[in-house]
Amino acid sequence: MNINYKFNDTDSSETVLLLHGFLSDMNSMKTVADQISEHFNVLSVDLPGFGKTPSTGNYTMDDVSESLASLIESLNLGKVHIIGYSMGGRVAVSFMVNHPEKVQSAVLESTSPGISDISERQRRFQVDYARAEKIVSDFSAFINEWEQMGLFSTQNAMDSETQLSQRASRLAQNPDGAADSLLKYGTGIQRSYWNDLKSVNSPVLLIAGEQDKKFAAINRKMNDLLPNSQFVLIQGAGHNIHMEAADKFGIIILEFLIGG
């Protein structure tokens, strides 16, 4: 799997890998990249199905993390810090579990390690399958429905320019790739990493929005299982904290990455 990437070499001895969320690409993490580039090299990627990385062939979440490991090796980066948001956070968890020797630390924003209950995971796959069909049949209508999900209701308070920019980024994605990604490494198909969390020894910063009740609860449980983690709840924020509370997010992650 060839991952499209951009490597900003700032002549630092340490690198941060940025992993974006669903229906976006590496450009959605630009604000975060700008916040950390004074202190770190930045490796931005398009995850499979988004941006310029196609979703082709048969692969799993573990294959995605394997491809990222190969990319890091090819760039001779050694250990990296990781910042993963939502879908990108799930990829980050997979990477930490499968390639601990390549991880210096991780920031997981609004992240889940998957669904442990098999029946619940099967139900989620049916939801993801239906979403994939809707994406392919009427992408614009799907985006409209996606933006109305309670998960993103707090984003209505953002300025119109930011909201329009995010919508344009979503609509710019390839519908076939986005749909295929759900069926290859969506929450309903990926394996659960809950039981693997206790073996992750790298420092981990968990961040969730106070208004995002579901992921706040998930992150509290993750914090109980991870051996070396801390959990920060951002007041007033929802799911996409790095966009809704950008300045606060930047301060928190820099304190962790530099100090941790």
Paired strand residues for 41: 15
Residue 193: give its domain's CATH number.
Answer: 3.40.50.1820
Residues 6+ apart with CB under 8 A from 132: 179, 180, 182, 183
Paired strand residues for 5: 45
Paired strand residues for 80: 103
Per the structure, the count of domains in the chain is 1
Q: What pLDDT score was predicted for residue 144?
A: 87
Report pLDDT digits (tens) over 11-30.
999 999 999 999 999 999 99
Residues 233-254 have a mean pLDDT of: 93
Report pLDDT digits (tens) over 88-138.
999 999 999 999 999 999 999 999 999 999 999 999 999 999 999 999 999
At 164, the pLDDT band (50, 70, 90 cuts) reads: confident
Domain span holding position 179: 5-259
Strands 80-85 and 229-234: unpaired
Prediction pTM value = 0.94
Q: What pLDDT score was predicted for residue 73?
A: 96
Report pLDDT digits (tens) over 43-77.
999 999 999 999 999 999 999 999 999 999 999 99
CA distance 254 to 33: 11
